[in-house]
Structure 1
Amino acid sequence: MPLVTCPVCESQVSKKAHACPKCGEPDPVNYHATNRWLGNLFWLLVIAGIGYAGWVYVWPLVVDVFNR
C-alpha cells in the first residue's frame, strides 16, 4: 500500500485514507491540489482585473493620442 507524507504533520499516511490518523487533516493526498487551484483562481482574477483596467482606462487614452 503506497504511503504519502501528510502536509500538516509530516507523518506517513495511506493514499486511500480519508483523513490523517495523527492530526486529522481531511484528504491529505489532495491538500496541495486544492491550494494550487485556489492560487490559480486568484491569479486569473488579478490578470482579468488588470486587463479590464487597461481596457477601460488606458485604451481610450491611447486611441485619443493617435486620433489627434
Structure 2
Amino acid sequence: MQWKDYIAAICAKGVSQSQLAKQAGCGQATISDLASGKTLEPRHSLGMALIRVGGRHGIRVLNEITPTQPATQEVA
C-alpha cells in the first residue's frame, strides 16, 4: 500500500482531506500532494500521525507502509 492509497482509505471512511490535515497537524495541501502521488512519502512525524489518525478510523497498517525513518548521522 502506498501513502496515497492509505489516505484514500481514510477518506473513504468519510474524512475529508481538510479534516485529515487538521487531525494530523499539517496543511491540506500536504494531504492533497500525498493523495495525488505528487509527494510519495511524508516526513516521519507526519507519517506516524497519519497512521494514528487512520487507526482511529479503523484503518490498519500492514507491513506495506513503513514511515520514513529519521536520518542517522554517522560519527567520523
More strand by share: 1
TM over 0.5: no
Higher relative contact order (CA 8 A, sep 6+): 2
The structure with more helix, counted as a fraction of residues:
1
For the aligned pair, the TM-score class normalised by the smaller chain equals under 0.3
